[in-house]
Structure 1
Amino acid sequence: MIEQFCLALFFVVLLLFWARHSQPKLPLPPGPPSEFLLGHTRVIPQENAAKVYSRWSKEYISKDSDIIHVRSLGRSTIVLHSAELAKDILEKKGANFSDRPRFTLLEVMGWGKTLTFLPFGKCWQMHRKFLQTSFSNTSVRKWHELQRNEAHHTVKDIIETPDTWEKSLRRFAVAIVLQVSYGTKVTSDDDPYIRIANDAMYATGNGGVPANSVVDLVPLVRYLPDWLIRDWSLRFARQWQWAITKLHDVPFAAALAEHGCEQDWTLDDIKGAAGAVFIAGTDTTWATCVIFILNMVLHPEIQKKAQAELDAVIGSGKLPRFSDRPLLPYIEHIVQETYRVRTLFFDTITIVVHVYEVGKVLTKLRTVVYANAYAIAHDERVYKNPQDFNPDRYGGGEPYPIGNFGFGRRYVLDQR
């Protein structure tokens, strides 16, 4: 018992010493009130972080700035709340903002060599180059017919069994991404691969905000037992590690048995690259479809207008092809509004690799810079009544949303 107490006391003293000597020396943007030594550790949100940061921006940001600052156990985070600022910093100065914080919590969960979470370096460059080649504007065209066939299948399923529409959409999302990443077909709405994807999405989406957990701030915590730390996010990551392992191993093993492997990469690299495509594509595709259907149910007048455009351009009894997209401006507006009302991807999280001036404020080396995609998509200075689902806003001159798929060198491949 005495040994346990001494260990806990040593750990607390170490944390306090580190936090005290990591106090920022440079001028910082405004933010919520902080506590001595702990900074904002106890108020940094673990759920709905984008909305909380957006609310703080209205409370603490001056008219001359779109930046807020929070600090947790010595780590500074700067949050950007405008598209103009995010583009100026993360795209025009991308070389200074290309790294990632270490996502130790996600490493514990099983996300190791995955492009989304890799820090800048040779491994990241290798994964990026491989996926850029596979998902260039030219390369993705070979998947158009697959997407169209799966869309036909899904529409037919929903018409025949409308009560299971959600299962049909899950099959649709998994079927496309699984064939693209592994060359494996999904045979039914109850295919085992769908359950694998669902479990992995649940694990990743419910483990807390990336880079903000105790284990992210103090990586050595990952080696301590649950009874000592009592951190729910670390316990959750350990309990759900099997889901991420299964996502990487099961489809890869099936693809390896069927197609073999001629790459010069390590097995972990191959699993990580394929797993990144699988989970990211499945999650965003399914969520986008659900948000679209929800808003069509809530706004039948929009659905009616969209149907009229399809009937006029395509005709009745047919589904559009990719080549028809330029001829369907109102459908395009609905797609863009679906992206805007609910941002789907991780907000761009990077690390400053040089001391740099951000919005008249100097950021120190290794400061985390976080582009709040939700706030950008709901900026009242850009969008009138941003909480409303209104595709007609784009016909009136409001811009398509940006940042839904990231900024700079961390944007999602083939989303431009």
Structure 2
Amino acid sequence: MLELSRTFLLVTSLICVAVWLGYIAKKRRRLPPRPPSTASSGEPWKVYAQWAASLGPLVRVTSVGNMVITLNTFEAASDLLEKRGHFASRPPWPMADLLGRQKNVAFQYYGDRLRRCRKALHASLSPTAIASQWSDLLDYYSRELLVRYMESPTSAYADSLGIVESLILQLAYGHAPGPDNVKVSRDSMEDSVVGLQPGTWWVNSIPALRYIPEWFPGAGFKRWANKARKAFVATIEKAFFDVKEEVHLGKAPPSFVRASLERSDGTPDEDDIIMSCAGSLFSAGSDTIIATYRNFLLYMMLHPDIQERAFQELVSVIGNDRLPTAEDQPALPFIDCLIQEVHRIGAVVPLMPHSNWKDDEYLGYHIPKDSWIMGNGWAMLHDSQQYANPQEFNPDRFAAKDGRPVPRDPRTIAFGFGRRLCPGMHFANAFLFLAITRTLAAFEICPTIENGQVVAPSMTGYKTGLVWMPSEFKCTMKPRAKAHAMIGLDD
């Protein structure tokens, strides 16, 4: 009995020592470096990039109780977000649940449901599907953009938003949207910007707060979120079931929902997947497109010499009697360089949130599971080692000449990484090419003149949030000589 007791004590002691050593080892794991000060900024991606210059590609900060690790180089983002599948999830985001966005493709945790959603979106938004199903839709709305400019030459900032919203809603549901649909879509985007911005809401750090009653002091966030959720869910459910009824009657026009229903097995689970995907397009499908296009307008005003070069390339390749088409794209190398530079300097999704579902090590640093992992797209696209003089708008940096290496195409960064790559990127690129080239072909983008004075465009006003977008600016769309004929309007 005495020997048994000694053995028990020895085993127990060894277990305790092992647990203690494991605890100490875990405590001593080397976390990524953090800055001495974490002063807040309206554009934190720029601050992270500054810190990375002295601390290295990984920078650790704490935001509303969460550990946030920013990846500030393409190499770090590629190594972790592209090559290691366990970084493909999203951070815990209780506010997304409260807003009804937990089934949105952008905010789902990684798993079978997300894979099915992405598969459904890819089936309708692949390059092949775009060419066969959506070319007429893209042609119509890129022309309608020009019609709006003819009608109201000084309203390009607002009109471009309305066109892109209508494009995405018709893609999703097959109908030109009415004012109510557009309003709900716009409200949904605004709610997403406010409600899903990282580091803003304590409920994301203390999930139990989501269970407090709405009447409780301090629960205003929940009252606001629930109101927004009800409006969003009711709208996407009605839109989905309206299309489903049209499909049943054989009256549904082409749309993502119709195409997906025709491929599905008709189960409630499949319906929910399709409805969620369409809702993702409805609530967040237009913001990155419109931000990129507005950057194009702004930089053409700031650089009329570059605008003229792009126009002259169009004239030399296709003349000035017709609008460009998708088939013209390979013959327009300077315009492709221009579009790349718009993506680079604009960096419309400056931070790309991921999360890892298991511990990992990288560059000698420990990355605890369930960390907020932020790909700093802005830092990658303003890396002076890759893009010389990154603050300068210079499309020529992407031109292949004299055998010099061409910098990385910004579109390989702008649409995300790995298993969270934007499933709508091919559709976005297709529309942006048509919208940009047709705008250049039909209009000169000029500063507005008020009271005899030129209203100089400003580079200081940008809206921050999930998408980084120029604040409202004024410009005048001056029709070129044959614009009316190209668009199909009478003089």
TM-score (norm 1): 0.82
Larger Rg computed on CA atoms: 2
Question: Which of the residues 311, 323, 326 maps onto 1:322?
Answer: 326
Structure 1 residues 153, 85: closer, same or farther in 2, change over 3 A?
same
CA contact (8 A) 1:199 1:243 kept: no
- 8 Å CA contact retained: 2:70, 2:375: yes
**Partner of residue 140, structure 1:** 130
Looking at structure 2, the residues matched to 310 and 413 of structure 1 have their Cα atoms a distance apart, in angstroms, of 30
Amino acid at match of 1:218: I
Note if 1:49 corresponds to 2:44: yes
Return the alpha-carbon distance in structure 2 between the equivalents of residues 367 and 125 of structure 1. 22
How many residue pairs get aligned? The number is: 378
Provide the rounded CA distance (Å) in 2 between the counterparts of 1:158 and 1:246: 34
Answer whether contact 1:200 1:247 (CA < 8 A) is retained. Answer: no
1:341 aligned onto 2:329: no
Tell me, yes or no, if structure 1 residue 118 matches structure 2 residue 108. yes
2:30 counterpart of 1:27: yes
Contact kept? 1:27, 1:361, Cα under 8 Å: yes
Q: 2:95 aligns to what?
A: 105
Deviates more, 1:398-407 or 1:307-316: 398-407
State the alpha-carbon separation in 1 of the partners of residues 68 and 90 from structure 2. Answer: 12
Q: Secondary structure at the match of 2:106?
A: helix
With over 3 angstroms needed to count, the CA separation of the structure-2 counterparts of 1:196 and 1:346, relative to structure 1, is: farther
> Comparing 302-311 with 95-104, which one deviates more in the overlay?
95-104
Contact 1:32 1:56 in 2 (8 A): yes
| 1:170-249 → structure 2 map (5 Å cutoff) | 170-186=161-177, 191-207=179-195, 209-210=197-198, 213-225=201-213, 230=218, 236-238=224-226, 240-249=228-237
> Conserved in 2, the CA contact under 8 Å of 1:67 and 1:81?
yes
Q: Does the CA-based 8 Å contact 2:116-2:273 persist in structure 1?
A: no
Kindly provide the CA deviation profile for residues 199-244 of structure 1, in whole angstroms up to 9, marking residues without a partner as x. Answer: 1111111235236631111111112257867487656534533453
Q: Does 1:350 align with 2:340?
A: no
Q: 1:74 to 1:208 in 2, by over 3 A?
A: closer
Task: Go from structure 1 to structure 2 and tell me whether the alpha carbon gap of 1:51 and 1:259 turns closer, same or farther (over 3 Å shift).
Answer: farther
Q: Which residue of 1 aligns with 2:278?
A: 274
Query: Aligned partners of 2:198, 2:231: CA distance in 1, in Å?
Result: 18
C-alpha distance in 2 between matches for 1:354 and 1:183: 42
Distance 1:199 1:271 in 2: 19
Q: Root-mean-square deviation (CA), in Å?
A: 2.7
Deviation (angstroms), 1:384: 2.0
- Partner deviation per Cα, 1:186-206 (whole Å, 9 max, x = no partner): 4xxx73322222111111112
Distance 2:27 2:115 in 1: 31
Tell me, yes or no, if the aligned pair for 1:106 and 1:237 is still in contact at 8 Å.
no
Deviation at 1:159, TM superposition (A): 1.9
Deviation at 1:72, TM superposition (A): 4.8
Per mean C-alpha deviation after superposition, the further-off stretch among 305-314 and 261-270 is 261-270
Counterpart contact for 1:356–1:362, Cα < 8 Å: yes
Unpaired runs of 5+ in structure 2? 1-25, 249-260, 401-405, 427-491
**Percent identity over paired residues:** 30
Aligned partner of residue 389 in structure 1, secondary structure: coil
Partner of 2:299: 295
Q: CA-to-partner distance for each residue in 1:89-117, whole Å, 9 max, x for gaps?
A: 21122x22122222111211121211111
Shift of 1:337: 1.3
Q: TM-score, normalised by structure 2?
A: 0.70
- SS for the counterpart of 2:285 is helix
In structure 1, C-alpha distance between the alignment counterparts of 2:343 and 2:223, rounded to whole Å: 33
